[in-house]
Amino acid sequence: MNVPTVGVFALQGDFREHHRMLRRLGVDTTTVRTPEQLADVDGLVIPGGESTTIGKLAHRFGLVDPLKERISEGLPVFGTCAGLIFLATDVNGSDQHVLGALDVVVERNAFGRQNESFEAVLDVKGLDEPYDAVFIRAPWIDKVGSGVDVLAEIDDHVVMVGQGNILATAFHPELTADQRVHILFVDMIT
């Protein structure tokens, strides 16, 4: 079996942590900052960070149209926190740049500001045991489209979804030792 190459969108955010997690799983990783680098990957992680900045930089570096094209062609994509926001079709009360690839409406900073970050135990569809999730200035998903599968909720707020070739979380699985959410993503590629 060929080892997939997963690109980690590295314009801004915690991309290094995703590289480390994926490499622990035996996956080859590469940094994606250009359309040419995007063309050579079997999957893509869009990390947490600052969603407005990620969107602006993606436009500046000519990545928006290539991203939309690769996702529509079936490229497996995993967005965490800001990555979830960037993948969404809409963000409540904001006109920030989004890809519109994931049929959800997102509420930014829904759980509060940085000092209100927290950890929570989640029941995640597809995982046998509860998952300890890290939420940092996290969004939640306010509305989901009919083709979106809700995978986890906290206090009646959706925090993890799947839609075809897209997996997205409001939390940061790269900041834990638990590899299971990344395994779910890698399984989408292989």
Name the residues annotated as catalytic.
81, 172, 174
Closest CA to 175 of 14, 8, 2: 14
CA 12/CA 178 separation, integer angstroms: 23
Judge whether 49 and 57 are in contact, CB under 8 Å: no
Amino acid at 40: D
> ∠ CA(34), CA(27), CA(124), 5° rounding?
100
CA 55/CA 64 separation, integer angstroms: 8
CA 139/CA 129 separation, integer angstroms: 24
What is the length of the chain? 190
